[in-house]
Amino acid sequence: MGHASQDGDRGDPRHRRQREVPDGVGAAGRRIVEDLAGHQQLRSPRPDVKTLTIALLLALAIPACRAGTVANSAIDRAAVDAALEQYRQAWLQGDTAMALGLISSDVQFLFPGEPDMRSDAVHALFISEMATYRIPTLNLKRADFFVAGDHAVDIGTYEEIQVPKTGAPIHGTGRYMTVWRREPGGWHIWRFMINELPK
């Protein structure tokens, strides 16, 4: 799911190829090793030190983003849930514009063992995946959630099926962590981490 899921980075061990990321999109000239069928970036089956460090820093830093307690946490949670469902539906429907409308202008996707993927590269990834694959199934199971000021952290697992234009469906499962940010117009995805579960 771009993560997706939240939702695009998943799948069984399959035939692989390399794609050259165009100059000006993310880290210029960077080669990303991807899954042929699912644009699946190669990642460790377990969280690496970088991933765990980032998660720890986020967990420690986010509560300090704004002083004081959140009076309307239930309202905020409901708003994030609504945005999350919109994002999930965007991937199920192949609606690129809807999905891109739910990410921040300075969004970053953080993948174990890879340089951070910044806004331009995230946009390119969404467009490429939705043009290539249909996602009939995308299930999310939340493990933890909290709101701290203008940020909300959603942690859980995902299960999805990707159907390429040619070839067999691809089943993927993994863990995700999404940091949402309150912005004008609603909540948007600000940081996203995903890690495949081992087969």
Q: Is 64 inside a domain boundary?
A: yes
The enclosing domain of 143 has a CATH number of 3.10.450.50
Q: Is 4 inside a domain boundary?
A: no
Tell me what the pLDDT averaged over the chain comes to. 76
- What Å distances lie between residue 84 and 59, 91, 141, CA to CA? 20, 11, 12
Task: Round to whole Å and give the CA distance between 142 and 167.
Answer: 31
Tokens encoding 41: 């970036």
User: Averaged over 168-179, what is the pLDDT?
Assistant: 95
Q: Is 60 inside a domain boundary?
A: yes
Q: Is 27 inside a domain boundary?
A: yes
CA nearest neighbour of 8 among 153, 168, 164, 187: 164
User: Averaged over 8-28, what is the pLDDT?
Assistant: 36
Task: Round to whole Å and give the CA distance between 115 and 30.
Answer: 9
Q: What's the pLDDT score for residue 21?
A: 38
Q: What's the pLDDT score for residue 71?
A: 52
Q: What's the pLDDT score for residue 197?
A: 82
Q: Is 126 inside a domain boundary?
A: yes
Q: Is 6 inside a domain boundary?
A: no
3-state helix, strand and coil shares in percent for the chain, rounded to the nearest 5 = 30, 35, 35
Domain span at 64: 16-41+49-196
Residue in the block written with tokens 């000239």 = 29
| Span 27-59, pLDDT tens digits | 333 333 334 334 343 344 445 545 554 554 555
Length of the chain: 199
| Span 116-162, pLDDT tens digits | 999 999 999 999 999 999 999 999 999 999 999 999 999 999 999 99
Q: What's the pLDDT score for residue 73?
A: 85
| Span 75-84, pLDDT tens digits | 999 999 999 9
Tokens encoding 109: 């996707």
H or E stretch covering 183:
strand 170-183
Q: How many domains does the chain have?
A: 1
